[in-house]
Chain A
């Protein structure tokens, strides 16, 4: 069964049609790459799926539920999580508190007022910190982490609520080659638990970790399917070559 189902998604900004009748499907436990030249509409598509922008037409379903116009908290509760390009960590809070904030997001307000889940969530925070190599920096302010570590912290935060679908917008932008490799290694194991929809410029990185790809060009889906098939699709080659 498909986890994410995008049908006929259109986004119009004034006279500019950024997305035209886009359709794509992400199944459970799948890593799905979203690629295309600059300005092809992939960020717009991701934002419409995430709820940061509302589409002009079309629908988005998550696990069979229509979430096209759901608010961000509703999407989060439906099992969607995301990491945008702009840093969303809280630089003035410690690494530990950043993760705690993400982890406790679905707890009832009264439990938070009484700090009733602080003890229970401690182990989960420490486990995530260890998994993402941040355990020895837990009391450091997040703003003082290196760029790569900030990205990992964000991924850890995005994964903390055990989402069914994680949206990642250019997770390796600005990273060193070593950090890229480490990011790939960190993402690998999550496939058992959740699906990934990832926008990325680095094609080698995408090809390494993604099972399937959707290629956009000028706001339209050019191809969508298994990574190997899509790569050899003549229309994809043309779209990429035409734009250099």
Chain B
């Protein structure tokens, strides 16, 4: 009976999607015009922000409304270094962005996550939201960092004597950082550490009785997510040539949440897809002219309503996001042991491996 009830061994779809997307992205600058290359670069950069939220929510069950805080502050710090101190080297600024995000996330984690008892989801959500909100207000009122206007006309990033222009080179840098981050994150979430995160997501209280310091795991994940969001913010500032209070606050934080919920939390590729699709829809909807004048006129200003309904529908009817249409639950959760890696006929081979 129970053998029949068991699900069939799952088909691996995720690697196919991942490789297909990479193959799709690699030649983009050679087929797209300048505007779309900038657009694709922005998607790569925002995908990093979405990945940072996916790591905390999709893998560790931490609802953070503060990802823009790490993104924006890293953007501001690197922008200030460039405009006030003349530092433009990518090799200096990107590590700084990562470090700023990491430190800031650690500080927030100390306040809302670390502690003797496990904090509730809503406490962490409100704590991070408050942080994001407060820092946005601070930036708006602080003239040294540009106040309402933020910091604009940033110089270009440099690598040695080479100036990194927005366009093909910047696209490949952003894509390269995205792919590298993605691969490292994938290793992390499929490691034994990732197994603990799965446990925390499913049975947080019980995992503590095994001997796991749940808060330490959550704190580490949260801090790492700050690092990723920081890199994203640094790249964003120099790609747009601008950073402002809007990139610090709850609006962008919420956008990160929506990217991931729409694409599919708990799969890394879902976060990337979420960004690409939402950004494309946001661009295409206002200029949609196929359905007659009335619709066009409505969409010109009313497009966010359509987008909102689309997101709401997805979250309601597809809690696993768009990726849930393609990927089984079993594959999404994955397997972590050595046994799962060896194919069944090779059982004897497994036993020969050193203990």
Which A residues are within 8 Å of any B CB, using their own CB?
Answer: 50-51, 71-73, 75-77, 81-82, 88, 90-94, 96-97, 100-102, 104-107, 109, 111-120, 122-123, 125-126, 138-141, 144-146, 149, 157, 161
CA distance A157 to B6 in the complex (A): 21
The yes or no answer to B213 lying at the interface (CB within 8 A) is yes
A50 proximity list for chain B (CB < 8 A): 209
Contact, CB under 8 Å: A93 / B211: no
Highest count of chain A CB atoms <10 Å: which of B6, B210, B212, B354: B210
CA distance A117 to B210 in the complex (A): 17
Interface contacts beyond A93-B195, A100-B336, A113-B193: sample of 5 additional A-B pairs, CB < 8 Å, sorted by A: A73-B208, A82-B209, A92-B329, A119-B353, A139-B340
Highest count of chain B CB atoms <10 Å: which of A51, A82, A109, A119: A109
The residue from B5, B188, B193, B210 contacting A144, defined by CB atoms under 8 A apart: B5
Q: Given the interface contacts A90-B198, A102-B210, A112-B191, does A97 sit within 8 Å of B336 by beta carbon? A: yes
The residue from B191, B202, B354 contacting A119, defined by CB atoms under 8 A apart: B354
The yes or no answer to B182 lying at the interface (CB within 8 A) is no
A157 proximity list for chain B (CB < 8 A): 210
Contact, CB under 8 Å: A94 / B335: yes
The yes or no answer to B206 lying at the interface (CB within 8 A) is yes
A76 proximity list for chain B (CB < 8 A): 209-211
CB-contacts of B240-285 with A (<8 A): none
Min Cβ gap B76→A in Å is 30
Which B residues are within 8 Å of any A CB, using their own CB?
Answer: 2, 5-7, 9, 116, 188, 191-193, 195-196, 198-199, 202-203, 206-214, 216-217, 220, 329-330, 333, 335-340, 350, 353-355
CA distance A146 to B3 in the complex (A): 10
- Listed A/B pairs (6) with beta-carbon separation below 8 Å: A88-B209, A94-B337, A96-B339, A115-B193, A122-B337, A161-B210
Contact, CB under 8 Å: B213 / A73: yes
B217 proximity list for chain A (CB < 8 A): 109
A145 proximity list for chain B (CB < 8 A): 2
A94 proximity list for chain B (CB < 8 A): 335, 337, 340
Min Cβ gap B346→A in Å is 13
CA distance A138 to B192 in the complex (A): 17
Chain B: which residue is nearest A89 at the CB level?
A: B203
The residue from A71, A122, A139 contacting B350, defined by CB atoms under 8 A apart: A122
B192 proximity list for chain A (CB < 8 A): 100, 104, 107, 111-113, 115-118
Q: Given the interface contacts A104-B195, A144-B5, does A77 sit within 8 Å of B116 by beta carbon? A: no
B338 proximity list for chain A (CB < 8 A): 118-119, 122
B7 proximity list for chain A (CB < 8 A): 141, 144
The residue from A82, A88, A118, A141 contacting B337, defined by CB atoms under 8 A apart: A118
Contact, CB under 8 Å: B337 / A71: no
CA distance A71 to B214 in the complex (A): 11
Contact, CB under 8 Å: B339 / A90: no
The residue from A96, A102, A114 contacting B335, defined by CB atoms under 8 A apart: A96
The residue from A113, A115, A140 contacting B6, defined by CB atoms under 8 A apart: A140
A109 proximity list for chain B (CB < 8 A): 193, 216-217, 220
CA distance A78 to B216 in the complex (A): 19
A113 proximity list for chain B (CB < 8 A): 188, 191-193
CA distance A81 to B211 in the complex (A): 9
Chain B: which residue is nearest A50 at the CB level?
A: B209
Q: List 10 A-B pairs, minimum CB-CB distance, nearest first.
A: A76-B211, A105-B210, A105-B211, A72-B208, A112-B192, A88-B206, A112-B193, A115-B191, A96-B337, A122-B338
B340 proximity list for chain A (CB < 8 A): 94, 96-97, 139
Contact, CB under 8 Å: B337 / A144: no
CA distance A96 to B202 in the complex (A): 16
Min Cβ gap B196→A in Å is 6
CA distance A99 to B198 in the complex (A): 13
A106 proximity list for chain B (CB < 8 A): 211
Min Cβ gap A76→B in Å is 3
Contact, CB under 8 Å: B333 / A93: yes
B339 proximity list for chain A (CB < 8 A): 96, 122, 125-126, 138-139
Chain A: which residue is nearest B188 at the CB level?
A: A113
Chain A: which residue is nearest B192 at the CB level?
A: A112
Chain A: which residue is nearest B350 at the CB level?
A: A122
CA distance A73 to B337 in the complex (A): 23
CA distance A112 to B333 in the complex (A): 18
Contact, CB under 8 Å: A90 / B199: yes
B337 proximity list for chain A (CB < 8 A): 94, 96-97, 100, 118, 122, 125, 138
